[in-house]
Amino acid sequence: MEQRDIVIVGGGPAGLAAAISAFEQGTTNICVLERDVQLGGILNQCIHNGFGLHTFKEELTGPEYALRYVKRAQELGIECRMGTMVLDVSPDRVVTAVNERQGVFSIQAGSVVLAMGCRERPRGALNIPGFRPAGVYTAGTAQRLVNIEGQMPGREVVILGSGDIGLIMARRMTLEGAHVACVAELMPYSGGLKRNIVQCLDDYGIPLLLSHTVTRVEGKRRVEAVWVAQVDESLRPIPGTERRYPCDTLLLSVGLLPENELSRGAGVELSPITRGPVVDEHLQTSVAGVFACGNVLHVHDLVDYVSQEAAAAGASAARYVQGSDDAREADKDVARIPVVAQDGVRYTVPSSISPDLMDDKLTVRFRVGNVYKDRFVSVYLGEERVSHRKKRVLAPGEMEEVVLKRADLCSRPGIDRIVVKLEEE
């Protein structure tokens, strides 16, 4: 069987950043497996700008951002197999995949980085009543049709969900000559970035209807109209508020789900909140030698954070294969402190930390469960508050982070938990 030090599942921004980072750490026998015919993942269809402000200190489009990583991987000579679908990852890190050139093949990997990304929630997951005609697309599918295939999915559009892809597609469809009647959002706040509401909706006079949902799809063969109603506090449609929007297209931007079918097959423990793997300070999953990063781990708002996280995962994967068997065994028994998400914080990545193994600084990322104004993000080591930072606005659409210092943890032996929570004062 083919042997590789590291196999990376997915050649999007996460997989590429992980591969480059691992290579730069000195582990060069790497193989990236990508199911699409191109590297770069979903960034290739994200032709809008706004990527890379953190990473490159300039504003790039999705394809440009991806290309920087693709070029770097090529410079380093990292092998990437495109058109290659991974079918199975075993708990002992045998990766089985299929492509046209090799057929079905397996690679024994020293370590595996999971970087499969996420998928969009389909209509069916929402139980929107009505017919099932042509013209109902997830925003990402529409984005692919318009930006990659050069095709128009419709002319008169209603969008359900105000996730970023939905907002971006509202503008994109408008620029291509379609009319977007409204964006309906079930929650009382948007799931997208504020800047996208301004430059994708406000700029074009597209109304954002908060606390609204689609209650019915009309049209047996092609969408003819959708019904939009206001919802009450328990998110139920309020009778009498329905309004019929004649249209030929309904786009859905109602959430992203990490794609963890392979992780599940490998026996990786998944978080019911993020739907991604449970990881430690090295982004290692519950299966030794299997790491995760990017949207397969938890859905990110900015690709810059994906790149940072993936670089950390790649470095961890390299460290894993460079270590001795004894060191790996010893790592298994090291003391771990759970990271607990509380009071408005929905989850943290990672969810456990070993002070002995962590780097000097560790970024802990999280999301909040609601819109909060003027709250403090606090970190407690045991009972002691070690950080207390005021935020004017916190929203579920935006990822937050706190940085933990190893010195802080090591100077407090015996703490049983690290708590990240929101406080009013």
Q: Is 244 in the site for other proteins (CB under 8 A)?
A: no
Q: How many CA atoms lie within 13 A of 119 on its CB side?
A: 7
CB of 156 to other proteins, least distance (A): 10
Cβ within 8 Å of residue 79, ≥6 positions away = 30, 31, 32
Residue 238 touching other proteins (CB under 8 A): no
Residue number with CB closer to other proteins (11 or 50): 50
Specify the length of the chain in residues.
425
For position 330 contacting other proteins by CB under 8 A, the verdict is no
With tokens 């790497």, the residue in question is: 30
Closer by beta carbon to other proteins, 194 or else 411 = 194
DSSP string for residues in 62-99: HHHHHHHHHHHHHHHT-EEE-S-EEEEE-TT-EEEEEE
According to CB under 8 A, which residues from 332 to 391 bind other proteins? Answer: none
State which of residues 56, 91, 122, 265 lies at the interface with other proteins (CB under 8 A).
122
Please name the residues in contact with 183: beta carbons below 8 A apart, sequence gap of 6 or more.
Answer: 159, 160, 161, 162, 166, 167, 170, 201, 206, 207, 208, 209
Of residues 203 and 329, the one with the C-beta less far from other proteins: 203
The contacts of residue 102 (CB under 8 Å, 6+ apart) are: none
Distance separating alpha carbons of residues 61 and 400, to the nearest angstrom:
23
Q: Which residues 56-115 are close enough to bind other proteins by CB under 8 A?
A: 59-64, 67, 83, 85, 87-88, 96, 98-104
Site for other proteins in 249-308 (CB under 8 A): 264, 301-302
Task: Closer to other proteins by CB, 156 or 280: give it.
Answer: 156
Nearer to other proteins, 62 or 355 (CB): 62
Q: Check if the beta carbon of residue 331 is closer than 8 Å to that of residue 356.
A: no
Contacting other proteins (CB under 8 A), which of 72, 119, 243, 405?
Answer: 119
The Cα–Cα gap between 103 and 82 comes to 13
Report in angstroms how near the CB of residue 36 gets to other proteins at its nearest. Answer: 10
Residue ranges in 138-157 that form contacts with other proteins under rule CB under 8 A? 138, 140-141, 144-155
Among 77, 221, 233, 414, binds other proteins (CB under 8 A): 221
Q: Nearer Cβ to other proteins, position 281 or 301?
A: 301
Binding other proteins by CB under 8 A: which of 25, 28, 29, 49? 49
Stretch that binds other proteins, among 195-203, 334-342, 375-383, 401-409 (CB under 8 A): 195-203
- Its sign, for the CA torsion 121, 301, 117, 379, is negative
Enumerate residues 4-43 that contact other proteins by CB under 8 A.
35, 37-38
Q: Are 270 and 276 in contact (CB under 8 A)?
A: yes
**List of residues 6+ apart from 342 with CB closer than 8 A:** 419, 420, 421
Among residue numbers 297 through 316, which ones bind other proteins (CB under 8 A)? 301-302
